[in-house]
Amino acid sequence: MSFKQPSILPGFGLTFGFTTAFLSTIVLLPLAALVAAGTSMHWSDFLHVVASPRALGSYRLSFGASLLAASINVVFGFIIAWTLVRYEFPGRKIIDALIDMPFALPTAVSGIALTTVFAQNGWIGRYLEPLGVKVAYTWLGVTLALTLISMPFAVRAVQPALLEVQRELEDAAETLGAGRFYVFRRIILPTVLPALLTGFTLAFARAVGEYGSVIFIAGNIPMKTEITPLLIVIHLEEFDYHGAAALGLVMLAISFVVLLAINLLQAWGRRRHVRAAR
């Protein structure tokens, strides 16, 4: 088989050449520099940076808070998607459009705004304070910021799947005596499960790397409220390029695994879909 199948349309050489050249310059060459800087380190130096107590503490927060945020988003993402797909109420279209706000809003803006709302004297923070709940400058704040910025991924993943749930199946089940919860567990949940998992993974992938919205609300105390991306920035500001590259490589490896998981999940979802259609 040749590299390209014949076509009467022109412009393959030009567009393919430009695409690969531009991709290599802007994305691949810079990422290669990161891999080279990380791997050129001596093994013990590398371990010293990526397994230091401070780094381990930052992984714990970054991954813990991201997992928590993604889980929260799966629950609320499903509820919001269900509300938008199944119910009609005043303002539904505006709410539907607003879901994408965290995509469009710069992270620095969401960061300072969330901090202000959830600070001790903020609109919501002042009611949480007497209950003994501190959000701003704690791990709760980190989780909250990550929940906000990754929320659209979960909603937008579940919404199309919910549209595809076959209502006839629900009706048939109810006619045969199934209760609402049974219908939910045996018909709705299996249909949207791949979408829920995809939403979870996308939300997690976005949350793990997030920087802008978190640093304002986190407090940034080493070992406690310091996320891994911030630790990278601190290394860079001290001109410790190798240390920064080592941590960057760890994060890059994790994003790669997550990306792989997303592709596998989507393939699984498509297979299920094809089987169900037969």
Partner 1 sequence: MAGSASGALAAADRNRPGQHTWMHSIVRWLFIGVSLTFLAAVLLAPLATVFAMALAKGVPAYLHTFADPDTTAAIRLTLITALIVVPVNTVFGLAAAWAIAKFEFRGKSVLITLIDLPLAVSPVISGMVFVLLFGMHGWFGVWLQEHDLSIVFALPGIVLATMFVTFPYVARELIPLMQQLGNDEEEAAITLGAGGWMTFFRVTLPKVRWGLVYGMVLCNARAMGEFGAVSVVSGHIRGLTNTMPLHIEILYNEYNFVGAFAVASLLTLLACLTLIVKTLVERTGYRRR
Chosen residue from 114, 140, 142, 197 binding partner 1 by CB under 8 A? 114
- CA 252, 161, 278, 171 torsion-angle sign: positive
The size of the interface with partner 1 (CB under 8 A), counted in residues, is 99
236 part of the interface to partner 1, by CB under 8 A: yes
Q: Which residues contact 231 (CB under 8 A, 6 or more apart)?
A: 54, 55, 58, 247
The position carrying tokens 């939300």 is 203
Contact call for residues 174 and 167 (beta carbons, < 8 A): no
User: Taking a C-beta distance cutoff of 8 angstroms, is the pair 246, 41 a contact?
Assistant: yes
In the region spanning residues 160 to 219, those forming contacts with partner 1, defined by CB under 8 A, are 160, 163, 167, 174, 180, 205, 208-212, 216
Q: How far apart are CA 186 and CA 174, in angstroms?
A: 12
Position among 53, 106, 130, 177 found at the interface with partner 1 (CB under 8 A) = 106
- Is the torsion defined by CA of 6, 7, 11, 17 positive or negative? negative
Contact segment (CB under 8 A) with partner 1 among 20-28, 46-54, 186-194, 270-278 equals 20-28
Smallest gap from residue 119 Cβ to partner 1 (A): 10
Q: How far apart are the two ends of the chain, measured CA to CA in Å?
A: 32
Q: Tokens 């004297």 appear where?
A: 121
Give Cβ neighbours of residue 139 (< 8 Å, ≥ 6 apart).
61, 64, 65, 224, 225
- Please identify, among the stretches 51-59, 98-106, 218-226, 268-276, the one whose residues bind partner 1 according to the rule CB under 8 A: 98-106
Interface pick for partner 1 out of 142, 144, 157, 197 (rule CB under 8 A): 144
Q: Which of 51, 56, 112, 189 binds partner 1 (CB under 8 A)?
A: 112
Residues 36-55 that bind partner 1 (CB under 8 A): 37
The answer to whether 96 contacts partner 1 (rule: CB under 8 A) is: yes
- Residues numbered 68 to 87 that lie near partner 1 (CB under 8 A) are 76, 79-80, 82-87
| Total length of the chain | 278
